[in-house]
Amino acid sequence: MRAVRLLIIIMSLVLVACNSQQDKTTLTVGHTHNTRHVVHEAMEYMAERLNNHSGGKMELVIYPGAMLGSEREMIELLQIGSLSMTKVSASPLEGFVPEMALFGIPYLMKSREHFWQVLDGEIGQEMLAKTQAARLKGMGYFDAGSRSFYSTEGPILSPDDLTGKKIRVLNSPTSMATAQALGAAATPIAWGELYAALQQGVVDGAENNPPSYYISRHYEIAPYYSLDEHTFVPDVIIASLPVWNNLSEQERTWLSSAMSDAIEHQKVLWQKASDEALAAVQAAGVKVYYPDKTKFQDKVVEFHKSFDNTPVAKYMRAIKSM
C-alpha cells in the first residue's frame, strides 16, 4: 500500500512539474472519504471554482478514499511538501497543533449557529494561524456536524448507559478523555475497521455525525442512535506551508477565493446530507433518541475544569461567554 501511495505522489509531482512548464499549477489534494461524501463533493466544487477564478491556470487533482494514507499520514506529507492540501478532522490535528484540542471538549458549543460563530470569528481564525508552527497552512473549515452516540444494544439516554460500554472514539487524547469522563471505556479503532468491530462485539458502540453513521452502514449493526450532540468537531482544510510559500500572490488569492466558495457550498451540502441521513436510517428501522443533554453536561463539569491551566483555557472562557 505504501508503495502505491509513493507511486501516486511521484506521479503527482511529475504532473505538477510538467504543468508548471505549461504555465499551469497543479495542486494535489487527498482525503479519506469516499466519492459519495459531501467532503468530496465540496472538494470537486473547489476544483471547479479554482479553475474559474484562475482562468484555467490552476487545477486541483483529488485523491479520495485514503488513497494517500490516513489523515495523520497525509498531514506528514504536507509537512514535507509532497502533498498540496488535505481535509482532516480537528481531533487528529491536535497531535500537531495542541490548541486544536479546543474543538474536542464536550458541550462547549451550544448549537450549530454558535459553532459557526466561533469558527468565523477571531478564535477560529487564530486556530488556523497556529497551524503554521507545524509547517501547515490553515485554509478554512468544513462542517462536520455534531457527534452523538450509537450502540448495538439499547439506547444511551444518560451517562449511566455508557458505564462499562466500550465506545469507539477518534484517536486523540481529548476524544478519549471525553468518553472516559462520561463513563465509557474509550476504544480508538481505525474508521475502516469499525463495522467489523461492531459486528464482532469488539466495541459496544461509537460516536459520529448522521451522514457518517449512514454512509458507513453502521446503523445495520448499531441501530440505537442517541442525539446527545456532545461535540461539534470541525473538519479543517490545510495546505502544505512549503507549497503555499511557493505560490505567487495571485495564485494564493485564487486558491483562497475557491476555498471560500467551497466552504459556503459545503455548509448547504452538509445540512441536506444530515437531514437525509437521519430520515434514511429511521426508514431502515433505526430508533433515534433525543436525550436530556443536561445529564451529560453535568457529568463533564470537572472535565472542563481540568483545562483551567492549559493553553485552551482562555478560548474556553471566551466561547462560553458568547
Q: Looking at the structure, do residues 68 and 184 belong to the same domain, yes or no?
A: no
Residue 300 lies in a domain: yes
Q: Looking at the structure, do residues 255 and 197 belong to the same domain, yes or no?
A: no
233/214 Cα distance (integer angstroms): 18
Q: What is the pTM of this model?
A: 0.86
Number of H helices, E strands in the chain: 14, 11
84/223 Cα distance (integer angstroms): 39
Q: Looking at the structure, do residues 18 and 125 belong to the same domain, yes or no?
A: yes
Q: Looking at the structure, do residues 80 and 138 belong to the same domain, yes or no?
A: yes
Cα four-point dihedral sign 81, 119, 298, 212? negative
Q: Looking at the structure, do residues 6 and 140 belong to the same domain, yes or no?
A: yes
Residue 104 lies in a domain: yes
Each residue of 193-244: pLDDT tens digit? 999 999 999 999 999 999 999 989 999 999 999 999 999 999 999 999 999 9
Each residue of 34-61: pLDDT tens digit? 888 899 999 999 999 999 999 999 999 9
Residue 160 lies in domain: 147-232+286-320
Residue 280 lies in a domain: no
Q: Looking at the structure, do residues 40 and 83 belong to the same domain, yes or no?
A: yes
Q: Looking at the structure, do residues 110 and 226 belong to the same domain, yes or no?
A: no
171 band by pLDDT with thresholds 50, 70 and 90: confident
99/310 Cα distance (integer angstroms): 9
CATH number of the domain that residue 78 is part of: 3.40.190.170
215/90 Cα distance (integer angstroms): 21
What phi, psi does 60 have (nearest 5°)? -110, 135
Each residue of 104-161: pLDDT tens digit? 999 999 899 999 999 999 999 999 999 999 999 999 999 999 999 999 999 999 999 9
Q: Looking at the structure, do residues 35 and 156 belong to the same domain, yes or no?
A: no
